[in-house]
Structure 1
Amino acid sequence: MERTTAMEAAMTQVELGGSARELARQVLIHGPISRADLGRRLGLSPASLTRLSKPFLDRGLFVEAPDLVQGATGRPARPLDVRADARRFVGVKLSGDAAHAVLTDLRATAVAREERALDRHDPRAVVDVIGDLVETLLAVEGPDLPSVSGLGVSVGGNVADQRVVTRAPFLGWRDVALADLLEARLGLPVDVENDVTALTTAEQWFGPARGRDAFAVVTVGAGVGYGLVMHDRVVTTPDTGLGLGGHLPLDPSGPLCVDGHRGCSTAMLSIPSICAQVGIAFGREIGYDEVIELAAARHPLARSVTDAAGRSLGRMMGYIANLAMVDAIVLSGEGVGLWSVAGDTALAALAADRDPEASEVVVHVDDTGFDPWARGAAAVAIQGALARLRLPA
């Protein structure tokens, strides 16, 4: 039997263990973070923390941030942070009519953006659009930049094992092995996730609620979505992606949704429903931007619809705050313009549904468009890459 050389032994690779993966996740989300804080969060001794972080430092994935003075002794602390330029990723958010893509660094900061229309929804056509987006973004690469390490795709629907889109109503998909199709097309590792889950990940990493151990996300757009972070974890279940937050009963006198629920969150808050209600009143089709403009001008017909939507939004946030026991909610989505004309109404309804002595619920409005959705898809790819990472033994 051949002897193993020293070089071969040094090149032996081992799967990243659970503690190391969690260490990397904490540094990604919370870095720069002190070793003392990491030790408390992970329940690790200083020696274990040093042992686990050394391979990341050796490979250039972590860096030691500038010294901070720690405690009364004035002892310097060297916080850990990720080296953001060590890896690059692509994130793609699929909607019913477009694909939005970003090229990011290891912290999911966008360095380039592209968008393509989705004229067809058959999976092969969508894969071609995503492939064109990725190849366009890859052209941003230069000789001194790291190659792309993975692709994340987020879709409105249910996803199994970050591989198969089991249901995507806006695309008309059932059981589409999207990750396999894209990996065959691009030769990159691919992770697929529900879009609201990916967005919630993005909000946890770099959104206005960053640093909170618990908060909720409500999205308003073509549909209504709900995400939750609890104990510093994005909450997912096998039913994530079914849009269960879209059918909360909010107004017993409201219109019907397509599934026959009267006054549910979809009926009261989604863009198609709001436009349909105002359009019926005007006797013509009307776009969402025009609805918001009319409401801002205090047109009575438009205002009655947006006020009802604002009250329903406040009630939905009240349900979430009361039942999930969170005191911060991020409002996002392409329909977030509703807040500009109905935010005060929503906050009044939220307060009315809370105990007077309960903590104030802070509402953060993220009106940055599709960028956080695509960056969230990239964040999913970054997490997937960490799970697959192999370090020297």
Structure 2
Amino acid sequence: MDSTASDRNKGNTGMLSASWAPLSPAERAVAIEVLTHGPVSRSEIARKLNLSAGSLTRLTKPLIESGLLVEDPPPAFYPSPSLSPPPSPPPSPSPATRQGRPSQPLDVVADSRFFAGFKITEDTVYGVVTNLRSDVVAARARSLRTRDPVDVADLLDAMTTDFAVEFPRLAGIGVGIGGHVIGPDRVVTSPFLGWEGAPFADLLEQRTDLPVVVENDVAALVESEAWFGAGRGLDRFAVLTIGAGVGYGLVIGGRLVRSGDDGRGIGRRWIVNPHGPLTPDGDRGSAVSLLSIPSIRYQVAAATGREHTYDEILTLAAAGDPLAARVIDEAARALGTVVAQIANFAMPQKILLAGEGVGLVEVANPAIDEAIAANRHPLAEPVALETKISDFNDWARGAAVLAIQILVLGRPKTSQ
């Protein structure tokens, strides 16, 4: 470990570990339930995990003693002077009749550890620090001078050092990248960065002496929403992102569905309208050609001879500009078709629409709804669609959740 990393982590010595191991599967299930839903009552935990009161007491005792969980006392009751005094509480049951522990909520100490999350784009690194609950407590952005993996690792190391000045109890780092990633440490293909087989997690771990996980940025965002956001507590949950590209993730049984195709740009082969517009790369009628921000800007520029930002195009469409309105209406109908296809085949309880491009929904929501209805059975249940405009700090937060998962679940095995 270099001297910078050593100095940065002196405050962590004896306080933090790379994981919550060793925990039994049952103990880990309890810890995750409290982390993602706490403060939560013992009775609720027992109900969700199908545990008896006695079993839950046995499982939580070592977690409390180790400091992973704390008992959160209920708020004191302060009666109004105008009210009669509350009745005296019933006598406490004898030890022979008492069942389990008192109903004190269990919680985690959110600020006991902090995590750095980074989203790497073509020209900028966005970094955040979150606590154990994934609340963002600091954010920074730095421009890339080069896209060389070694230089980018140096930049992230410098940003981590900067974060550690204010948050010395950093326990891990997560990195989200637009590309195909094998295992937690090897970026195999990243068209945005021009990387091929870069062992980026190893490069960053050598510099920071912290656990590092690298993941496709969409997968990181899905994990974040499944644990702490729109998909929390759902068995079947889907995320569709539109921005620089089109991304998709599916959670079944509370776990992200993994595929060898993750991060390979599914939107370029997701044909929505074979007679649709072309992208600069020659794709016709794909989800990317219809929905991505670069493609929408390209279509408007081709029609008008002028460059416009995405926000300007949305404003023009809302004001009735015929060319902008035509492009946005076609994009909205494509979005409704894609949402309906996800609902038809994956049957999720909720679909989250996220990314920098979802301002489309506010401008053209009627066209989206019409396309959803046209592609669904007339008696099908309404699609539970939630919209979240995500900036790059949200993507970085998703990466930080990966580091939280390493702490809780341990480091995943590298797949070859």
Structure-1-length-normalised TM-score: 0.87
| 1:14–1:363 CA distance, 2 compared to 1 (3 A) | closer
Q: What residue is the counterpart of 2:222 in the other structure?
A: 200
Asked if residue 21 in structure 1 is aligned to residue 28 in structure 2, the reply is yes
1:60 counterpart (40, 50, 67): 67
**Of residues 314, 319, 324 in structure 1, which corresponds to 2:346?**
324
CA contact (8 A) 2:245 2:267 kept: no
Output the amino acid matched with 1:376. G
**87, 112, 118: which one aligns with 2:138:** 112
Q: SS where residue 214 of structure 2 aligns?
A: strand
Partner deviation per Cα, 1:237-282 (whole Å, 9 max, x = no partner): 2322222244311112212346654211011001111000000011
Matched, 1:385 2:411: no
SS in structure 2 opposite 1:15? Answer: coil
- 1:42 is matched with which residue: 42, 45, 49? 49
Deviation at 1:284, TM superposition (A): 2.7
Assess, with a 3 A threshold, how the Cα gap between structure 1 residues 245 and 30 changes in structure 2: closer, same or farther.
farther
Task: Give 1:156 shift.
Answer: 1.0
Q: 2:274 aligns with which of 252, 276, 295?
A: 252
Tell me, in whole angstroms, the C-alpha distance in 2 between the residues paired with 1:187 and 1:313.
Answer: 43
What is the alpha-carbon distance in structure 2 between the residues aligned to residue 206 and residue 156 of structure 1? 22
Pair 1:231-2:257 in alignment: no
SS at match of 2:196: coil
Cα distance in 2 between the residues matched to 1:257 and 1:28: 43
Q: Cα distance, 1:66 vs. partner?
A: 4.0
What letter is aligned with 1:21? R
Matching residue's letter, 2:394 = P
CA contact (8 A) 2:116 2:172 kept: yes
Offset, 1:177:
0.6
Structure 2 Cα separation of the partners of residues 319 and 41 of structure 1: 31
**Structure 1 partner of 2:95:** none
Residue of structure 1 equivalent to 2:78: none
Please name the residue that 1:7 is paired with.
none
Measured on the aligned residues, the alpha-carbon RMSD in Å equals: 2.4
* Match in the other structure for 2:158: 132
Deviation, structure 1 residue 67:
4.6
- Sequence identity, in percent? 47
**Quick check: 37-46 or 342-351, which moved more?**
37-46
Aligned partner (choices 156, 161, 182) of residue 183 of structure 2: 161
Residue 65 of structure 1: how far off its partner (Å) = 3.2
Q: 2: distance between equivalents of 1:164 and 1:20?
A: 31
- Is the alpha carbon distance of 1:18 and 1:350 closer, same or farther for their aligned partners in structure 2, counting shifts above 3 Å? same
CA contact (8 A) 2:240 2:248 kept: yes
Is residue 250–residue 264 contact of structure 1 (8 Å, CA) maintained in 2? yes
Q: Which residue of 2 aligns with 1:3?
A: none
299, 304, 311: which one aligns with 2:326: 304
Aligned to 1:149: 171
CA shift, 1:150, in A, is: 0.5
Match of 2:119 in 1: 93
Report the alpha carbon displacement of residue 183 of structure 1 after superposing the two structures with TM.
Answer: 0.5
Alpha-carbon distance in 1 for matches of 2:314, 2:383: 25
Larger of the two Rg values belongs to structure: 2
* Post-superposition CA distance 1:152-211 (Å, at most 9, x none): 111111222211111111111111111100011111111111111111122123323433
- Aligned mates of 1:346, 1:32 — CA distance in 2: 38
Q: How does 1:245-284 map to 2 (within 5 A)?
A: 245-257=267-279, 260-284=282-306
**Structure 1 residue 325: Cα displacement:** 0.4
- Kept after mapping to 2: 8 A contact 1:15/1:388: no
Which position in structure 1 is the counterpart of 2:110?
84
Residues 148 and 280 (structure 1), Cα distance of their counterparts in 2 relative to 1, 3 Å cut:
same
TM-score computed with the length of structure 2 as normaliser: 0.83
Q: 1:56 to 1:238 in 2, by over 3 A?
A: farther
Equivalent position of 1:9 in the other structure: none
Q: 2:322, 2:241 → 1: CA distance? A: 26
Structure 1: give runs of 5+ residues left out of the alignment.
Answer: 1-12, 69-74
**SS of corresponding position for 1:358:** coil
Structure 2 Cα separation of the partners of residues 351 and 292 of structure 1:
23
Question: 1:164 and 1:23 mapped to 2: Cα distance?
Answer: 32
Instruction: Spell out, residue by residue over 1:302-340, the C-alpha distance to the aligned partner (whole angstroms, 9 max, x if none).
Output: 110000000000000000011000142111111122222
- Alpha-carbon separation, structure 2, partners of 1:56 and 1:157: 38
Tell me the SS of whatever aligns to 1:175. Answer: strand
Distance 1:162 1:20 in 2: 24
In 2, distance between residues paired with 1:21 and 1:159? 27
Code of the aligned partner of 1:32: P
Q: Which string of whole-angstrom CA distances, capped at 9 and with x for unpartnered residues, describes residues 36-82 of structure 1?
A: 443344344433333332232123221223459xxxxxx96233222
1:215 aligns with 2:222: no
Per-residue CA deviation, residues 79-98 of structure 1 (Å, 9 max, x unaligned), is: 32221111111111112221
Amino acid at match of 1:107: R
Note if contact 1:275-1:287 (Cα within 8 Å) is conserved in structure 2: yes
Partners of 1:61 and 1:86 within 8 A in 2: no
Q: Structure 1 residue 122: deviation in Å?
A: 0.9
Which whole-Å CA distance do the structure 2 matches of 1:327 and 1:298 have between them? 35
* Letter matched to residue 198 of structure 2: V
Matched AA of 1:172: G
Question: How many positions carry a matched residue from both structures?
Answer: 369
